[in-house]
Amino acid sequence: MFAGMNTGATPSLAPHHMAMIPPERLAEIQKEYFAELAHIATNPEAIEVKDRRFAGKAWHSSWSKVIAATYLLNSKHLMSLAKAVDTDEKTRQKILFTTEQMIDALSPSNFIATNPEVLENIISTQGQSIQKGITNLLGDMKKGKVSQTDESAFEVGKNIATTEGHVVFRNELFELIQYTPLTETVFERPYLMVPPCINKYYILDLQPDNSVVRHMVAQGHTVFLVSWKNPDASMAEVSWDDYVGKGVIKAIDVVKEIGNAKQINILGFCVGGTLTTSALAVLAARDEHPAASLTLFTTLLDFTNTGILDVFIDEGMVELRENTIGGKNGKCGMMSGLDLGNTFSFLRPNDLVWNYVVENYLKGNSPPPFDLLYWNGDSTNLPGNMYCWYLRHTYLQNDLVKPGKLKICGEKIDLGKIKCPAYLYASHEDHIVPWQSAYESTHILKGKNRFVLGASGHIAGVINPPAKNKRYYFENNKIAATADEWLEGAKQIPGSWWPNYTKWLEQFAGEKKPASNTFGNAQYKKMEAAPGVYVKEKAAKAA
């Protein structure tokens, strides 16, 4: 996620941003509020509550419906007040975010006394649900996070991240995995996948029926994948340049050598896509063009609009991070993966926090096994140096899209020098990478670009195998001036977008040749079996 970007902090509201609600708008909001409150008070039997938090039968009694309806009315009123504040857009977004956090936290479903389902549970279990809930709470307090899945149900390399292959290269930043062919013939041009360095690579290799890795291998591609090391304190000074040069560029070189290919096909996912594009820009500055095609999944290059994450990031926040972990005071630290994960969860608090508070602690239930949420909780730290550079030069200053502004690996970069064809995928409901922002990459990269828009969110939209026959996607082969114009001319197609992608990729994959079970080459020897060593490392406590 960084398959997203988190800060581990709440948005700040500085005193000089104090603002007021125009009196006439305040009067309108108050009038609407008291009219709706009177309706609840005088006609409780007619109340209709449409919110899944209050969908259970226990909420159908008149008293419970009044509690839920009054809460929802108060929530609506508070959001109306927040939206009416006369201030700049950045401050308004912070006010809205903070208000939503407070509203979600104060839901009557989150408290024993006002949640009838919890009260019924206590009675029916003779108090055992509360005892179990306390046990769950104490366990989560030790872990420092709310459990979202049964973590004992999964083991990396056993029933998750199981696509067969071998590590063929390792340095201090990553392992390179080469996967075993599943077809008698393979395309001659290798395929390199660069996942995000937030969380672990196996979001692309969950289980056989939803593995992107296995799907691409089954399509006849010789797949290589970067498995990033989970940083510890010794890596605090590792930089963005290191991730680009010693990471992505090194991976490209190794894959080219093993595959005996002048060019390869490359995929980058989220921040892995930002790193990959940075690497190709560095190489383009050296007049090297190793990519026959570039694929970006839910990736930001233009950070003008970063959606909900924008509420966290301003000059004060970035300076704070630079002074504490970014090396500005002479010492680098680590950005805690646990803090990142918790902050990320609060971007969708009802789904990823309060839902589990109610189920795990108030009702005493244990969360069911879910591979995606297991991956989501398998956190990784970030080197403070790299993290702070990323915050400042992308989210805060948007330097990446300014030709010649940034020097990476000793080269002034210009993303416009990347001329290979690109497949750009975004998810319609992505709260980490707004799809309209991902669309801007069609104007930044100068090759023949294709943009495809899938349904659902940042991760679920990507992990959508054809066999499930779920969701839909939008396709429009013409690149329009704006994202909205593109969508207006797009066709909605049912099912997974994966076949659309693999068909596009085939034209850059080269001829077919007999598959080989040889891993690596004379220089890069076969090492451990996949999933390798780095992916099994747990996040060390950040200093």
Active site residue 270: yes
How far is Cα 456 from Cα 471, in angstroms, rounded to an integer?
8
4, 495, 438: which is closest to 203 by C-alpha? 4
Tokens describing residue 371? 């591979």
CB neighbour class for 86 (10 Å; exposed up to 12, middle 13-18, buried from 19): exposed
Q: Considering just the CA atoms, what is the radius of gyration of the chain in Å?
A: 25
DSSP code, position 347:
T
Beta strand 382-383 pairing with 334-335? antiparallel
Cis ω before 465 (30° cut-off from 0): no
The residues, any chain, with a CB within 8 Å of residue 196's CB and separated by 6 or more, are: 1, 2, 3, 4, 269, 270, 271, 272
What is the longest distance spanned by two Cα atoms in the chain?
82
CB neighbour class for 488 (10 Å; exposed up to 12, middle 13-18, buried from 19): exposed
CA distances from 356 to 47, 360, 374 (A): 27, 5, 14
Instruction: Quickly tell me which residue has 């039968």 as its tokens.
Output: 57
* Residue from 197, 270, 388, 409 carrying the catalytic annotation: 270
How far is Cα 273 from Cα 265, in angstroms, rounded to an integer?
13
Tokens describing residue 128? 């055992």
State the sign of the Cα–Cα–Cα–Cα dihedral 62, 65, 67, 70. negative
Helix (H) or strand (E) holding 287: none
Instruction: Quickly tell me which residue has 């997974």 as its tokens.
Output: 496
374, 310, 314: which is closest to 150 by C-alpha? 374
The residues, any chain, with a CB within 8 Å of residue 300's CB and separated by 6 or more, are: 274, 306, 394, 433, 437, 438
Instruction: Give the E-state strand segments of 159-222 in sequence order.
Output: 165-170, 174-179, 185-187, 191-194
State the sign of the Cα–Cα–Cα–Cα dihedral 232, 238, 241, 242. negative
Q: Which residues are catalytic?
A: 270
